[in-house]
Amino acid sequence: MKKEEARRIKVAHFSDLHFSIGNLLEAGGCFHHAVSVAISEGVDVAIISGDLTDHKQDAHSAALHKLMQEIRRLADHCPVLILQGTFLHDYPGMLAIYRFAGGKYPVETVDKIGQVALMGTQWRFAAPGDSLDGVRLLVSCVPTVNKSDLVSSVGVEHVAQAMGDVLAGLMQGVFAPQNLAARAAGVPTITVGHGTVSGSLTEHGVPMAGKDHEFSLGGLYAAQSTATMLGHIHRHQSWEREIERFTQRVAYPGSIGRFHYGEEGKKGFLIWSIGPRSCDFEFHETPARVMVDFLFDGKPDMDWLEQQSASCVGSFVRVRYSVDAELAATVDKQAIEQVLAEAAEVRIEPKLLVSQRQRCSGISTLPTLAEKVEKWCESTENEAASVVGRVQQLATRDAKSIAANLIKEIINEAQRVSRERRDDDGHALDRFEGPELGIAGGAGLAQ
Ligand SMILES: [Mn+2]
């Protein structure tokens, strides 16, 4: 047990920083806070599991400058390991520049599958079967894998499945033997990956079902590392398994800040404590912005919005509503902004419902209303015989006489049906009269 305690290592795990000019305040503030906490907690190592930037950044971008400053602060405190995230975010080749952040300790970047060992305070790439002498920590890395490499070998239709199989095979076949050796030698082990675990939940609460994802929990556990640190999904979540006093944990810290409306849950990062046979982590919340979503089915209810305004001070508020296109102009967007004037941002997103119209060519050239209605009936599959008559009634008679006429029609129809049944069945349906239809007083209206 003493040996286990002696070999424990404290690791800060950050992910999905998404630095960009648009995200600068959020990413900058949250990551600065996280780095400060990690330093004051005295972590031995820092790992960033991908998506450091939101997209390709110019070398002189203020966002990249701020990110490099924070990596430098980390590297002045401990060794740093950075994993390739989604290519759209960590643009191919961008990772290499983080090594030049400077600092007392090395910053290593990994964009290929493989293992990295921490010797003292230096990172070394490790091959299967390498000696574990002097190794403080063994990290198996599964960065974003280029799917196009797989397409050529297995064909497009098998790529999704093949990806999972290839990675699971890799973890079990290549990483596991070295991790088991490390466990026997008392060396803590980590797997770092960027991708989706089947069955995980997105930040919007959507379960990622199916098998076309990079990772399965079983595949990750099969790597036999103690801690599995993941990036890609922006919602914090974790899993654990204990077999024969060997505890494995898998966790996403989630994104460092809140970058989109509708993202649920707290934002933060993890500080792990990892031994050769067990691990644990603590979630540390970052001061991510508060984003509020209001959704109206129809025009926004201004009185209700006014009641909410006090709780929206300093928040990012999105107001969404769906109205008929004809009514769009009647929604006063300025009034919404005024009601929520103390919010940090108000985003108004109308959804216009466009009514479906069917063309009825030639209708405008017909001389009389009756003919127009008849044409309309044809193209909308209505019964012209009854509709045209009704339209003529509308034009020539008053409401009371139209109603009386209708009631008379209904009674006549009911009596006709009743007579027919009597003829058919040979006996009377004695209660099938006017009053049964709820129009007892109707006769009084008849002319
Ligand atoms: Mn991401």
Cα angle value 249/125/136 (rounded, 5°): 55
Q: How far is CA 419 from CA 180, 362, 407, 409, 446, in A?
A: 91, 44, 18, 15, 21
Asked if 90 contacts 50 with a C-beta cutoff of 8 angstroms, the reply is yes
Asked if 302 contacts 286 with a C-beta cutoff of 8 angstroms, the reply is no
Is a pLDDT exceeding 90 seen at residue 149? no
Sheet containing 80-83: give its strands across: 107-110, 80-83, 45-48, 9-14, 268-274, 279-285
How far away, in angstroms, is 64 Cα from ligand 1 center? Answer: 16
Question: With 0-12 CB in 10 A as exposed, 13-18 as middle and 19+ as buried, what is 223?
Answer: buried
Backbone torsion region of residue 162, taken as left when φ is above 0, otherwise alpha when ψ lies between -120 and 50, otherwise beta: alpha
Domain that holds residue 392: 365-445
How far away, in angstroms, is 200 Cα from ligand 1 center? Answer: 14
Stretch (H or E) spanning 267: none
How far away, in angstroms, is 78 Cα from ligand 1 center? Answer: 24
pLDDT for position 153: 63
Task: Tell whether 389 is covered by a domain.
Answer: yes
pLDDT for position 447: 35
pLDDT for position 371: 87
Nearest CA to 192 out of 56, 4, 12, 69 is that of: 12
How far away, in angstroms, is 403 Cα from ligand 1 center? Answer: 66
Residues 147 and 296 reside in one and the same domain: no
Nearest CA to 5 out of 359, 275, 246, 254 is that of: 275
How far away, in angstroms, is 328 Cα from ligand 1 center? Answer: 35
Q: What is the token pair recorded at 341?
A: 């004037």
Q: What is the token pair recorded at 148?
A: 């196009």
Task: Tell whether 95 is covered by a domain.
Answer: yes
| pLDDT bucket at 78, cuts 50 / 70 / 90 | very high
Residues 172 and 279 reside in one and the same domain: yes
How far away, in angstroms, is 22 Cα from ligand 1 center? Answer: 15
How far away, in angstroms, is 16 Cα from ligand 1 center? Answer: 4
How far away, in angstroms, is 144 Cα from ligand 1 center? Answer: 11
Residues 92 and 225 reside in one and the same domain: yes
Where among 285, 304, 319 does a domain terminate? 285
How far away, in angstroms, is 207 Cα from ligand 1 center? Answer: 16
pLDDT for position 210: 66
- Express each pLDDT in 246-301 by its tens digit: 999 999 999 999 999 888 889 999 999 999 999 999 999 999 998 888 999 989 99
Is a pLDDT exceeding 50 seen at residue 432? no
Q: What is the token pair recorded at 5?
A: 């305690």
Domains contained in the chain, number: 3
Q: How far is CA 341 from CA 113, 294, 301, 305, 384, in A?
A: 50, 15, 16, 11, 55
How far away, in angstroms, is 404 Cα from ligand 1 center? Answer: 69
- For the segment 216-236, the average pLDDT, to the nearest whole number, is 95
Task: Report which DSSP code applies to 331.
Answer: S
Residues 149 and 102 reside in one and the same domain: yes
pLDDT for position 387: 85
Task: Tell whether 360 is covered by a domain.
Answer: no
Where among 258, 285, 312 does a domain terminate? 285
| pLDDT bucket at 6, cuts 50 / 70 / 90 | low
Is a pLDDT exceeding 70 seen at residue 425? no
Residues 178 and 139 reside in one and the same domain: yes
Could you tell me the pTM of the whole model?
Answer: 0.75
How far away, in angstroms, is 17 Cα from ligand 1 center? Answer: 7
| pLDDT bucket at 381, cuts 50 / 70 / 90 | confident
How far away, in angstroms, is 33 Cα from ligand 1 center? Answer: 19
Is a pLDDT exceeding 70 seen at residue 104? yes
How far away, in angstroms, is 365 Cα from ligand 1 center? Answer: 60
How far away, in angstroms, is 18 Cα from ligand 1 center? Answer: 7
- Express each pLDDT in 165-214 by its tens digit: 778 888 888 899 999 999 999 999 999 999 999 889 988 888 887 666 78
- Which runs of E-coded beta strand occur in 15-134? 45-48, 80-83, 107-110, 114-119, 122-126
Residues 127 and 208 reside in one and the same domain: yes
Q: How far apart are CA 37 and CA 287, in angstroms?
A: 12
Residues 345 and 380 reside in one and the same domain: no
As beta bridge partners, residue 271 has: 12, 282
How far away, in angstroms, is 81 Cα from ligand 1 center? Answer: 17
How far away, in angstroms, is 51 Cα from ligand 1 center? Answer: 5
How far away, in angstroms, is 308 Cα from ligand 1 center? Answer: 31
Where among 285, 311, 340 does a domain terminate? 285
Task: Tell whether 25 is covered by a domain.
Answer: yes
Residues 399 and 276 reside in one and the same domain: no
Work out the mean pLDDT of the chain and round it to a whole number: 88
Residues 48 and 159 reside in one and the same domain: yes
Residues 137 and 154 reside in one and the same domain: yes
Task: Tell whether 410 is covered by a domain.
Answer: yes
How far away, in angstroms, is 255 Cα from ligand 1 center? Answer: 7
Residues 436 and 335 reside in one and the same domain: no
How far away, in angstroms, is 415 Cα from ligand 1 center? Answer: 72
| pLDDT bucket at 83, cuts 50 / 70 / 90 | very high
User: Of the given ranges (30-44, 202-216, 302-316, 415-429), which has the lowest mean pLDDT?
Assistant: 415-429
Q: What is the CATH classification number for the domain harbouring 143?
A: 3.60.21.10
Q: How far apart are CA 18 and CA 26, in angstroms?
A: 9
How far away, in angstroms, is 82 Cα from ligand 1 center? Answer: 14
Task: Tell whether 76 is covered by a domain.
Answer: yes
pLDDT for position 271: 98
Task: Tell whether 358 is covered by a domain.
Answer: no
Task: Tell whether 28 is covered by a domain.
Answer: yes
Residues 211 and 169 reside in one and the same domain: yes
Task: Report which DSSP code applies to 402.
Answer: H
How far away, in angstroms, is 282 Cα from ligand 1 center? Answer: 21
How far away, in angstroms, is 242 Cα from ligand 1 center? Answer: 29
Stretch (H or E) spanning 274: strand 268-274
How far away, in angstroms, is 15 Cα from ligand 1 center? Answer: 8
